[in-house]
Amino acid sequence: MTSYFSYQQDQLCVETMPLAELAKRFGTPCYVYSQVALADGYREFAEAFKSREHLICYAVKANPSLAILNLFARLGAGFDIVSGGELQRVLAAGGAANKVVFSGVGKTVAEMKLALEAEILCFNVESAAELERLNEVAGSLGKIAPISLRVNPNVDAKTHPYISTGLKKNKFGVAYDEARALYRRAAAMPHIRVTGMDCHIGSQLTEVSPFVAAAEKVLALADQLAEDGIVLEHLDLGGGLGIRYKDETPPSVAEYAEALLGALAGRREKLIVEPGRRLVGNAGVLLTTIEYLKQGEEKSFALVDAAMNDLMRPALYDAYHEILPVIRFEPSPQSSPASGGGGERERQLLNYEVVGPVCETGDFIGHDRELAVAAGDVLAVMSAGAYGMSMSSNYNTRPRAAEVLVREGDAHLIRERETIRSLFANERVV
């Protein structure tokens, strides 16, 4: 739990606003974000890197809500995108195209055209085939595409294998040993302008050493390119700095910046970093209501109205999120869980499987959580600001949740809850 979300007289609050009131006002499931937490997170990065020319490009995939993108744009952020749709979101939110870097292994012709016409800062090219296509597309538009190669340094990020992106076996980037030759090809292409080098080794990193190892390999390659007459304008060292979900001890932003700036000492290139989770992860929670308490033969279940379609991370990565009641009660000495039938409201302290209504055994929010709760209570799933709403779906024809931003003592609905009718409005019966 962060200082932005804390108990005040047994009421869990976002800043000073009780989350129970927001659940009542906007319903559940509902994502709630603290604007102070978001702004403070960005300013922490800006302060840490202020000693050299830099650009903080927020990784849009972490949370693409327009209100959040608009906030970061007003604070001066650039954006790291991985699709044409994310580019259009950034532009709709007031972001500057000339502060956008476009990553991703499968850019389509349409996406390339969109980005070229918008005049983005840089394409992070991830293969020789993509480079050839981008040269052709830029030529068809009479434009020059600014590029960096995303170099795969074969550095172990020491994170979950699904979010590790910098090893030889991963689909991302250009192999380190092949990058120098591909840079030479790029420099000779008529519709390509080499501007930088990109490297991103994974997400939720909790140590500084992998960042430094990757930076050192990038710098060595940059020096080789200088020998070839290819002088880089910027070095994009990616993102991936982790947050605390349970008992992790990730580096502070200041420690992370100190390590990178130390590696870059004496260099002239502009530095780009791409934080995502670190900016938004602990700035948001998911509110969910307990529909029923159920005693199974081996386990007790708290059946809530949020599900894997609302928060995919537990089912996808077996990820841990702290789960807290928005109103704390003293546990009673009852011998059985509080009834879901509406009469009994006693709360016995028990270990619960917190699960959703989706028809999958993998539909869970948390395992073995010690809670004193009753049916109808609201729970807060903590550290849900990153890869929560952005990965949500309509599985089981479930509308996606509402989103609320708390700003200056007031709560603003920044995304309306979807309606069932909207889910099939574009379908047709033949």
C-alpha pair distances (Å), 48 with each of 138, 204, 212, 307, 412: 37, 19, 16, 38, 30
Task: Report the 10 Å Cβ neighbour count for 223.
Answer: 10
The helix or strand, by DSSP H or E, that contains position 355, with its residue range, turns out to be strand 349-355
Distance (Å, whole) CA 234 – CA 402: 39
Q: Is 274 annotated as a binding residue?
A: yes
360 is in an annotated binding site: yes
How far apart CA 91 and CA 83 sit, in angstroms, is: 13
The reply, when asked if residue 275 is annotated as ligand binding, is yes
Residues 173, 177, 180, 186: is their CA dihedral positive or negative? Answer: negative
The verdict on whether residue 262 carries a ligand-binding annotation is no
Q: Is 387 annotated as a binding residue?
A: yes
Helix (H, G, I), strand (E, B) or coil at 306: coil
Q: What are phi and psi of 98, to 5 degrees?
A: -75, 10
317 in a labelled binding site: yes
378 by DSSP, 3-state: which?
strand
266 is in an annotated binding site: no
**Is 30 among the residues known to form the active site?**
no
Residues 30, 57, 199, 359: which is the catalytic one?
359
Sort residue 254 into left (φ over 0), alpha (ψ -120 to 50) or beta: alpha
Annotated binding site: 240, 274-277, 313, 317, 360, 387
Enumerate the active-site residues: 359
Annotated binding site for substrate: 277, 313, 317, 360, 387
Annotated binding site for pyridoxal 5'-phosphate: 240, 274-277, 387
